[in-house]
Chains A and B, each alone.
Chain A
Amino acid sequence: MDVTINGERRQVAPGTTVTEVVRSLTRAERGVAVALNDEVVPRAEWARTAVAADDRVDVLTAVQGG
């Protein structure tokens, strides 16, 4: 199925979880937030939250600058 990850259309297997999406993008899960359809998914729910067709997933990285 197709989903949009960080603005790009990508194919993922049905049942793919937020955790799996993050792992496909970065080695580090620390310092990362994930918005699923414009709503941040709390870390504890990543593993049990599956993405659905046409979902929009944004993987955000914490930045420290000020």
Chain B
Amino acid sequence: MSLPPLVEPAAELTVDEVRRYSRHLIIPDVGMDGQKRLKNAKVLVVGAGGLGSPALLYLAAAGVGTLGIIDFDVVDESNLQRQVIHGQSDLGKPKAESARESVEEINPYVKVILHKERLESDNALEIFAGYDLILDGTDNFATRYLVNDAAVLLNKPYVWGSIYRFDGQVSVFWNEYGPNYRDLYPEPPPPGMVPSCAEGGVLGVLCAAVGSVMVNEAIKLITGIGETLVGRLMIYDALEMTWRTVKVRKDPEGEPITELIDYESFCGTVSEEAQEAASGSTITARELKEKMDNGEDFHLVDVREKNEYEIVSIPGSVLIPKGEFLSGEAFAKLPQDKQVILHCKSGGRSAEALAALKSAGFSDAVHVGGGVLAWVANIDPSLPTY
């Protein structure tokens, strides 16, 4: 959809800016007018992670005058495979600060505003109010619905991108002119159904493909050129190497968005069944180690996927992925005369498998809170984490 420019042009570009942006200025569709609009634009990037990294780098290089960065996390080694705005020397540093340093190195004319906090229902409207446009590159459904609803309430456009393994999806949601995220996905998948990148992995370079489309759309919205992705969902398959677009329209029977809600409970990070099963049936990594040292007879099952098991595992564990518990296949593989102890990476998936196991009659089964990560942290720090 072709739309009017989102941002008024700045009064002028300095001589230094003209030199820097000359390759934009000589494109007729961008020109002096478009570059002045970029200079005047205030863009907020939610999450300085996989998508936020290329997005921030290119928004900065393109000359977006004010960039807001919201991220509460610190740089971890496992981020560096794809989060190219951070480097080796940034390990342990807040991502927002590390991202600011990279942005300032790329373009000192960009004003950076840091929000080193978690985006929540009680701060989203206030933070968003200071920006013309928002880019959503967060890593969880709860924040994605929060970003959507806040943008709808403030009638602001936002560029949405999400990634998983080899697949990417991108769109522009602007309730005034087209559908919003809830018209596409009215509610999130059930908890545990769709893995995060931390659980399922992501091809690093996928972030560049999807992140660059997000910036492309941001530039078009700010300057008012081209056909934006309002009303269209773009789907990228990096294995088949295809880009497809499908039309999206407003759901005439969709629930109107009137206020921000509790998004953790809306998305139910852990299902109620899992919470109930885990309550009173959770042991710590240390308790597991004690059971081993005492020579207790139990059956330790790792419910993660094979690739994860190959990276690191708890000694003596056997692998039966969570899906086999949900389908019921797993039960025949388990002993009836021994206690079954489940674990996963951090305790979420094992709680779900535990719920299925208990309803199948394995009443004394337990799971390990914190999973293999807690084992590495508390029992054997020589093992790798991921």
Q: Do A and B come from one complex?
A: yes
* Chain A contacts to B: CB under 8 angstroms: 28, 30-33, 35, 38-40, 42-44, 58, 60-66
Query: Is the beta-carbon distance between A31 and B49 smaller than 8 angstroms?
Result: no
Inter-chain pairs besides A60-B233, A64-B162, A66-B47, 13 sampled, C-beta below 8 Å: A30-B189, A31-B188, A31-B190, A33-B184, A33-B233, A39-B246, A40-B183, A42-B183, A58-B246, A60-B169, A61-B194, A63-B194, A64-B196
Q: Which residue of B lies closest to A38 (CB)?
A: B246
Question: Residue A31 contacts which of B50, B183, B185, B250 (CB distance < 8 angstroms)?
Answer: B185
Determine the chain B residues whose CB is within 8 A of the CB of A44 once the complex forms.
251-254
Complex Cα spacing A30 to B145, Å = 14
Interface centre among B197, B202, B246 (most CB of A within 10 A): B246
Query: Which residues of B (141-167) have their CB < 8 Å from a CB of A?
Result: 141, 144, 161-164, 167
Complex Cα spacing A57 to B138, Å = 29
Complex Cα spacing A35 to B202, Å = 24
Determine the chain A residues whose CB is within 8 A of the CB of B235 once the complex forms.
60
Query: Is the beta-carbon distance between B161 and A66 smaller than 8 angstroms?
Result: yes
Given contacts A35-B246, A43-B251, are A63 and B184 in contact (CB under 8 A)?
no
Q: Which residue of A lies closest to B137 (CB)?
A: A66
Chain B interface residue number, banded: 35 or more
Determine the chain A residues whose CB is within 8 A of the CB of B47 once the complex forms.
66
Complex interface bits, B350-369 against A, C-beta within 8 A gives 1, otherwise 0: 00000000000000000000
Query: Is the beta-carbon distance between A66 and B136 smaller than 8 angstroms?
Result: yes
| Residue contacts A-B, CB under 8 angstroms, 16 given | A30-B193, A33-B184, A38-B245, A40-B249, A42-B183, A42-B251, A42-B252, A43-B186, A60-B235, A64-B139, A64-B196, A65-B162, A66-B47, A66-B51, A66-B52, A66-B137
* Residue B77 CB within 8 A of the other chain: no
Complex Cα spacing A42 to B298, Å = 50
* Residue B22 CB within 8 A of the other chain: no
Query: Is the beta-carbon distance between B50 and A65 smaller than 8 angstroms?
Result: yes
Given contacts A39-B246, A40-B248, A44-B254, are A65 and B187 in contact (CB under 8 A)?
no
Complex Cα spacing A42 to B244, Å = 19
* Chain B contacts to A: CB under 8 angstroms: 47, 49-52, 136-141, 144, 161-164, 167, 169, 183-190, 193-194, 196-197, 200, 202, 233, 235, 244-254
Complex Cα spacing A44 to B244, Å = 24
Query: Is the beta-carbon distance between B169 and A28 smaller than 8 angstroms?
Result: no
Interface centre among A28, A35, A38, A63 (most CB of B within 10 A): A63
What's the least CB distance linking A61 to chain B, in Å?
Answer: 6
Query: Is the beta-carbon distance between B193 and A64 smaller than 8 angstroms?
Result: no
What's the least CB distance linking B243 to chain A, in Å?
Answer: 13
Determine the chain A residues whose CB is within 8 A of the CB of B186 once the complex forms.
43
Determine the chain A residues whose CB is within 8 A of the CB of B139 once the complex forms.
64-66
Determine the chain A residues whose CB is within 8 A of the CB of B188 once the complex forms.
30-31, 62, 64
What's the least CB distance linking B104 to chain A, in Å?
Answer: 23
Query: Is the beta-carbon distance between B247 and A63 smaller than 8 angstroms?
Result: no
Complex Cα spacing A47 to B49, Å = 39
Query: Is the beta-carbon distance between B163 and A65 smaller than 8 angstroms?
Result: yes
Complex Cα spacing A42 to B186, Å = 9
Determine the chain A residues whose CB is within 8 A of the CB of B200 once the complex forms.
65
Query: Is the beta-carbon distance between A33 and B249 smaller than 8 angstroms?
Result: no
Query: Is the beta-carbon distance between B246 and A40 smaller than 8 angstroms?
Result: yes
Complex Cα spacing A44 to B249, Å = 12
Complex Cα spacing A63 to B166, Å = 11
Complex Cα spacing A10 to B349, Å = 33
Complex Cα spacing A53 to B144, Å = 36
Complex Cα spacing A12 to B244, Å = 25
Query: Is the beta-carbon distance between A32 and B189 smaller than 8 angstroms?
Result: yes
Complex Cα spacing A39 to B231, Å = 10
Complex Cα spacing A61 to B237, Å = 13
What's the least CB distance linking A66 to chain B, in Å?
Answer: 4
What's the least CB distance linking A34 to chain B, in Å?
Answer: 10
Given contacts A64-B144, A64-B194, are A42 and B187 in contact (CB under 8 A)?
no
Complex Cα spacing A44 to B253, Å = 6
